[in-house]
Amino acid sequence: MAKKNRLKDLSFGQRIYITEIAKGLGLTLKNMFKPKFTMQYPEVKFDPPASYRGRPVLAVEENGQERCVACGLCSRVCPALAIEVQAAETENEKERYPEKFEINMLRCIFCGFCEEVCPEEAILMSKDYELAFTNRADAIYGKDKLLTPVSRLQDRINFVRQFK
Partner 1 sequence: MPKIIIDGKEIEFKPGQTVIQAARENGIEIPHFCWHPSLSVSGNCRLCLVEIEKMPKLVISCSTTATEGMVVQTQSEKVIAARNAVMEFILINHPLDCPICDEAGECKLQDYTYQHSVGESRFTEEKNHKEKRIELGPNVMFDGERCISCSRCIRFCDEIVGEKELTFIKRGDRVTITTFPGKKLENPYSMNVTDICPVGALTNRDFRFKSRVWEMAPTKTICSGCARGCNIDLWTRNNEVLRITPRQNEDVNSFWMCDNGRLNTFKHVNANDRVSGPHLRKEGQLIKCGWDEAYAKTLSELKSFAKDEIAALASSSLTVEDTYLVSKFVRSTLNMKNFDFVRKVVAGSGDAILIREDKATNAKGFELMGVEPGKSASGGGLKFDEIISHIESGRIKALILIEEDLIGWNPAFEKILSKLDFLVTISTNFDASTSFANVVFPASTYAEKNGTWINFQGRIQRIRPAVTTIEMERSLDGMSQSRWDKFGTDFDSWGKAKKNDARPTWKIISGLASAFGTKYKFTMAEEIFNEIAHTNPLFTGLDYDVVGENGVQLKTETVKKKVTI
> Is position 112 an interface residue for partner 1 (rule: CB under 8 A)?
no
Does 69 participate in binding partner 1 (rule CB under 8 A)? yes
The yes or no reply on residue 65 touching partner 1 (CB under 8 A) is no
Q: How far apart are CA 134 and CA 117, in angstroms?
A: 31
Compute the least distance from the CB of residue 61 to partner 1, in Å: 17
Rounded to a whole number of angstroms, the minimum distance from the CB of residue 93 to partner 1 is 9
31, 94, 133, 157: which one binds partner 1 (CB under 8 A): 94
Gap between the Cα atoms of 14 and 22, Å rounded: 12
The b-or-e profile of 91-119 (16+ CB within 10 A means b, else e) is eeeeeebbeebbbbbeebebbebbbeebe
Out of 81, 109, 131, 157, the only residue in the binding site for partner 1 (CB under 8 A) is: 81
How many whole angstroms separate alpha carbon 109 and alpha carbon 79? 8
Contact map string, positions 125 to 154, toward partner 1, x by CB under 8 A: -----------x---x--------------
Candidate ranges 6-14, 36-44, 82-90, 123-131; the one touching partner 1 (CB under 8 A): 82-90
Question: Could you give the maximum distance between any two Cα atoms of the chain, in Å?
Answer: 94
94: left (phi over 0), alpha (psi -120 to 50) or beta: beta
| Among the listed residues 104, 121, 128, 159, the single contact to partner 1 using CB under 8 A | 104
Are 74 and 123 spatial neighbours (Cβ–Cβ below 8 Å)? yes
For 150, other C-beta atoms within 10 Å of its C-beta total 16
**Could you say whether residue 70 binds partner 1 (CB under 8 A)?**
yes
Point out which residues bind partner 1 (CB under 8 A). Answer: 69-73, 75-76, 81, 84, 87-89, 94-96, 102, 104, 106-107, 119-120, 136, 140
